[in-house]
Structure 1
């Protein structure tokens, strides 16, 4: 390995430069954007990873406790903060950081011992390599196991970078164990020189991966905003027109699909008598009730104006009617306080997908049932049978309502 050599001082300077640039850049980015959990701590960790080698480069001009003990402690603490920040950023349990935090005082004591009591460069290399191997391998695991839905390719790039670095540190430990004692670290073997090169690659790779994941989150956020109604936070008509056809195509003959069309009763009168702000509050309140009292598999969309459409996968017409009746009761039990009690009621049209039917006809039949509910006095649930000309008022029976409650 001596046939090829790298300049450790130059590589050390590059680590300092890259770490500090990425750290400052990410800190400035954090200040200019909505706060991203874990990003500021990640930026600070890069700063520590850069400061450590800076102090390390002062070997020979400063006391050993400063250029060896403190410098390596700062580097270890920087890698520890990387792990901690990724647990926050990727929404992973912090218990993975507890063990490595307890290792820092132990490694600090070992560094002091092998610097001032029984000096040994070889022992110090083994101590820091073991710590870095543990923290980077845990960082790789945390990146993969995080619960936040980030861009997969960026996740794999970051976790792979940590895994390769941790594997190299493990190899470095094994190599050092069977090597002779070093007398001058700046002229160490190639494997120790490669540590600086791989550290540069790691800093660049994880910083780029972090920016990649943040950018993907922003893109997803913009896309989600395009599919959300800003008033109710329900999905909008744009999202419905893209989701419902796919849902119908995916539905199996064994699994029925039903929809509910909801319309607020006397909504125009509410706007005329109490103002549009009150009308907005009514829509928001009803949207909240629907969201709170539907299943996780159901989806609610603001269809237009005061109409809301609810999709019910794997739900037959009987259970769909029970759900609609339950929602009707929940809504009519609320009043919006605006000087006086303002009663809120809604009408419901229910339809179930027929074999070979497209989504336009399904929505049309639910809309027809809703229209009949309005004609029959409002605050009513009406179902539309497979024959578009036939409809029936639903009077919820006890066992159907119980079936719905169990489904929730």
Structure 2
């Protein structure tokens, strides 16, 4: 519940699924986070000494990023040097008993450590391997370094963000990484189903950052293929669909989506423009697109004279989709977020509590849960190695060599 440190225990959809996470920063770990929220056991392998760089990104509390508290909940931390022979041997033993391996290294990295899919699947034919990289495991760009922002550019998204004629801007978060992670999770779930329904054999899931972005680019390529049309940046508008834009109010902006035929008529009536509501030339989207500037001006003449809350109240009454542009404070104070457990109070291992995003999607029978807080580096190293049957004396020797921490 929203007032508790953790969501209550419930049947877990992915109970019994073991995930080894070798990724760092955003794409791979977000996939591991999502699988963990639905019950998978996630063992996160981190480099001794430094750990995942995300631990130190953005705003820090007690020496650790608060972002880390979200990205790594429900995970166990194994501090293991994958560049050492001993570390690689331990990783292979773990992977031999795992269902899923998640990695987002540059292609060829695992192969260089003797952990190609062919080698790992020989140990564990049921293994499903999620590989997230900038450009995929094949193709002429496979060896180039790639981050989410580059994927957003190559995938076509960055060209469309911003105001016409101005420098393209990012959307403010690492959306390319997150889209890749979500596509990876879809792949994992699909592969798990196929494996368990068709003879028990695993497979590789190859996700490229730019392809995950490109997959959500709607009609971008069909329009170019059919009409030679290159879609351009349009600011806050939705090109080809009208009216749908951000409109100035007396104290801010609201987004208004009046682009359905009946919705448009209700919107025009609500702003006192029955002449536009009854204009037969505006009865469908094609006619409205042809006069989009006129419609946007008419709406903003009305909205600019009124405070945001009055505009929204009027449009709610008229059953027109509209919304305030939320910032962090708006989200944190919104009762709807609270009512749907989308703001959770989560305990940390540093002794404080922090509010964090809830879990999506919401499964009614097997909802996602927060079972444990994000680990400190190597918190679970000894326990994991003991579970593998490695004696304490060997663990001490591995620590002395620097293979674990």
TM-score, normalised with respect to structure 1: 0.26
Higher strand share: 2
Q: More helix by proportion, 1 or 2? A: 1
Q: What TM-score do the two structures reach when normalised by structure 2?
A: 0.26
